[in-house]
Amino acid sequence: MVKGFSKSEFKNNEAIKDSKKEKKGLASFLKGKKFTYTLPGKKQINIFGSIVLVLNTVLVLLVILYFNNQEFHDFIFNVGR
């Protein structure tokens, strides 16, 4: 037995093309649109970087407070219930 496709099996190529479905919903809406991606500017990079650094700093401070302050630890423990 030979592996793969024989030439006689591949004659029905038109049926494969007809079986493609038309795009529906958002895909049909965006079919004719062209989108271009632009890299963020220096100001936008600085803003997002600052936000990430501030949130990371707040997270580290809350973790330190959680381990060192028993009242804060109990508060977080009770809120999580």
Q: What is the pLDDT along the chain (81 residues), one digit of tens a residue?
A: 556 665 555 555 555 555 556 667 777 777 777 777 788 999 999 999 999 999 999 999 999 999 999 999 999 999 977
Structural domains in the chain (count):
1
Question: Does residue 28 form part of some domain?
Answer: no
User: By residue range, what is the domain housing residue 80?
Assistant: 34-81
Q: How far apart are CA 69 and CA 63, in angstroms?
A: 10
Residue 16 counted as domain residue: no
Q: Is residue 26 part of a domain?
A: no
Residue 43 within any structural domain of the chain: yes
DSSP letter for each residue of 10-70? T--HHHHHHTPPPP-THHHHSTT---------HHHHHHHHHHHHHHHHHHHHHHHHHHH-H
DSSP state of 40: -
Residue 17 lies in a domain: no
Q: Which two tokens stand for residue 46?
A: 């600085």
The Cα–Cα gap between 39 and 41 comes to: 6
With respect to residue 23, please indicate whether it lies within any of the assigned structural domains. Answer: no
- What pTM was estimated for this model as a whole? 0.52
